[in-house]
Amino acid sequence: MARTMKDRLRIRPLSILGMTTVWALLWGSVSPLILVSGAVLAWVVDVVFPLPPIHWDGRLHPLGFVKLVGHLLWDLVVSSLRLVRLAFLPEVRLDAGIVRVDLHSDDDLYQVAVAQLISLVPGTVVVEVVRHPRRLYLHALELHDDAAVDSIQSMTMAIESRVLHAFGSPRQIEDFEAACLARPAPRTPQMEE
C-alpha cells in the first residue's frame, strides 16, 4: 500500500535516534554538529528509503530468550573449537557443501532471525533464503556422510524452535509444533553440490 506524502515526512523518533547514534559512533564524536547532521541525515534516509512496517504478533518469552542466547553462545564456542581443530590438522578435508533445510514456521521475521543466528555460528553460512516455500540453503563444513547432513538440518530446526519459543505467540508456537509433527525432518540426504 502506497504511503501518503504526509506519512512519509513524519518523524519517527526511534528510527532517527538509532541512525543518529550509529552516525555519531562512526564519526567518534558527539559534538552538536555531528548530532544535528546525523539527525537530519537519518530523517532524509527515513523519507527517501522507507522501510515497510513489521507486524509482529509474538511476544518476548524471557526464559525462551535466555535459552536462545545460551545455546547461541554454546554453539559459538563449539564451532570455533571445531574450526581451530580443522586449522591445525596436518591434512585438511573440509567436505564442504550446500544443505537445503525446510523451515516449519511461516513468518519472514523468524526466517530472518534463524538465518542470522545460523550465519553467526562459524562453519555454517546461509547462502540463499527462499520465501515460498520457507527454505534455507546453508554452506557447511565437514559433510562427510548423511549423518552430518541430518545434523545440520536438526541444528537448524532446533534454532528455529528456540527462536519461536523466545519470540513467538502461543498460536505461532502451536502451529510450529503441529507443522513439525505433520512434516518431520527428512531422513534422506538433501545435500546439493
The pLDDT tens digits of the residues spanning 14-58 come to 888 999 999 999 999 899 999 999 999 998 988 888 777 777 888
Determine if the peptide bond prior to 133 is cis (ω within 30°). Answer: yes
For cell 519517527, name the residue. Answer: 12
The winner for highest mean pLDDT among 1-15, 38-52, 154-168 is 154-168
Report pLDDT for 71: 94
- High-pLDDT (> 70) share of the chain, %: 90
State the average pLDDT for the chain.
Answer: 86
Confirm whether pTM is higher than 0.75.
no
d(CA 15, CA 94) in angstroms, rounded, equals 43
Residues in the chain: 193
**Cβ atoms within 10 Å of 81's Cβ, excluding its own:** 11
d(CA 152, CA 149) in angstroms, rounded, equals 5
Report pLDDT for 189: 46
